[in-house]
Amino acid sequence: MTAIANLQLVALDCPDPLGLARFYSSITGWPVAPEDPAEADWVELDAGEGAVTIAFQQVTDFSPPVWPGSEHPQQLHLDFTVPDLDEGEREVLAIGARKAVVQPGETFRVYLDPAGHPFCLVLR
């Protein structure tokens, strides 16, 4: 099958794009793209030439998703593989993540980023 397009990035709505970009930069090791004060409402991580990355878009009246639930569904979440769930958990909690109350699996754990988006650490 011939591709119509290539995935460039995944954008997350949030109230503080630079703050959330720095949070995910700490998880991925990808630097925050050169910061332009004129573009404070849109910030990207630099995952490297040609790589899919994560962007953060400012939304003034942002309402975080509620996980699990359907009143304010997550609609999208990110998964990050780790070699050790306990060590990964310690590190994401140290940079501002919160562990979700509901944990449905044994090979992955669900967390909430500082803006409330769910994301998972998955045992590699």
pLDDT at 18: 93
d(CA 78, CA 52): 13
Q: pLDDT (tens digit, 9 = 90+) per residue, 52-107?
A: 999 999 999 999 998 888 888 878 899 999 999 999 999 999 999 999 999 998 99
pLDDT at 79: 95
Stated pTM of the model: 0.89
Residue ranges per domain, the chain?
A: 9-58, 78-123
Q: pLDDT (tens digit, 9 = 90+) per residue, 3-55?
A: 767 889 999 999 999 999 999 999 999 999 977 766 789 999 999 999 999 99
HEC string of the chain equals CCCCCCCCEEEEEECCHHHHHHHHHHHHCCCECCCCHHHCCEEEECCCCCCCEEEEEECCCCCCCCCCCCCCCCCCCEEEEECCHHHHHHHHHHCCCEECCCCCCCCEEEEECCCCCEEEEEEC
Q: For the domain made up of 9-58, give the CATH fold.
A: 2,3-Dihydroxybiphenyl 1,2-Dioxygenase; domain 1 (3.10.180)
Looking from the CA of 29 toward its CB, the CA atoms found within 13 Å total 2
Q: Which superfamily does 78-123 belong to?
A: 2,3-Dihydroxybiphenyl 1,2-Dioxygenase, domain 1 (3.10.180.10)
pLDDT at 37: 65
The contacts of residue 9 (CB under 8 Å, 6+ apart) are 44, 52, 53, 54, 55
